[in-house]
Amino acid sequence: MIINRRNFLASMPIAAGLVTSSSFAQPLPAPSRSQPTIPRWRGFNLIELAGGQRHQRYQELDFKWMAEWGFNFARLPCSYWAWSDKNKWMTIDEMALQPLDRAISLGQQYGIHINLSLHRIPGYCVNGRELEPFQLFDSPRDSMERALEAAVFQWRYLARRYKDAPSSQLSFDLLNEPPFMKDQSRYVEIARHLIAAIREESPDRLIFADGVDIGQTPVLGLVSEGIVQSTRGYLPKMVSHYTATWVPANEFESTDPPSWPMTDRHGIEWNREKLRQELISKWEPLIKIGVPIHVGEWGCYNKTPHDACLAWMGDVLALWKEAGWGWSMWNLRGTFGVLDNDRSDIPREYFRGHWLDRKMLELLIAN
């Protein structure tokens, strides 16, 4: 059993007294930790708690099938709204965390490493950050400190709750896809406070931090923390997100029907070597000093023609295999997934109550 609930609840400080804004008045000293070593974890994002709805439940069959197919990693992007409230950041509904308890137990049962990620953290979400009462980034200092105080509280709580789960079975991903930024210092500040809070409760916890610019750019300021850095695999979005309405128009390199390779509106051909430049080469400064890299999200929307989708996937997977990087695809079930992706351009293969994209699954298994 991961949690001794009685001991956990008895040891939790009262929320209002746990952290004060004065905690952030002085910068933290820079640690110097050796770089962790991780397996080449491969798997999927399981998104039951990503939207923050209560009473969601992770499915045991997802873990069973991942293990059956040879995958060993499940990233759980979560909104803190699933157990807390944007107007009561320092109040956590312990019962609402039972889905996470269950997922961690299922991971242990099926040999799937669990990577717990805050897709929405107090003060920030890549989708709808304006819904937060105070902001982690690009706001008056008082607003940013209030948000950071709450973010620290949330991670400290989770670190204490799951402190008995070994890092071989459970890791933490601080916050999903930080915004585009020219100066990384604010993100480094946030990440270092979150890391420090986690390690006060769980000193040996394996920690991931997403790159900035929505996960696409490495963060040299976190090298000394001894963490994994998490990147993304959605470029070019003209292929991976064709017609996706939630992507800003200026992020599409072209709006033409996808093919692979493909030439964008500027006449630049996107092929395997272009992908190498965009997805691998910019991370060389971290690679050279031994910082482990993992691809936290990637995938292809179901509106991209299947042949183009698989050709593009084949190239990105080959590059990551060559680099020795693991990955977690968005998602297992749904419009980016291998199950129930609702594609109209592939044969419908019935698989244990779901529709399976057999060719996509075989490509993933091989890489």
* CA dist., res. 127 & res. 108, Å (int): 31
Which residues are CB-contacts of 265 (< 8 A; sequence separation ≥ 6)? 253, 254
pLDDT tens by residue, 220-259: 999 999 999 999 999 999 999 999 999 999 999 999 999 9
pLDDT tens by residue, 103-152: 999 999 999 999 999 999 999 999 999 999 999 999 999 999 999 999 99
Q: Is the pTM of this model over 0.95?
A: no
* CA dist., res. 276 & res. 282, Å (int): 9
pLDDT tens by residue, 84-107: 999 999 999 999 999 999 999 999
User: Which of 159, 164, 158 minimizes the C-alpha distance to 3?
Assistant: 164
Q: Which domains does the chain have, with CATH numbers?
A: 37-366 (3.20.20.80)
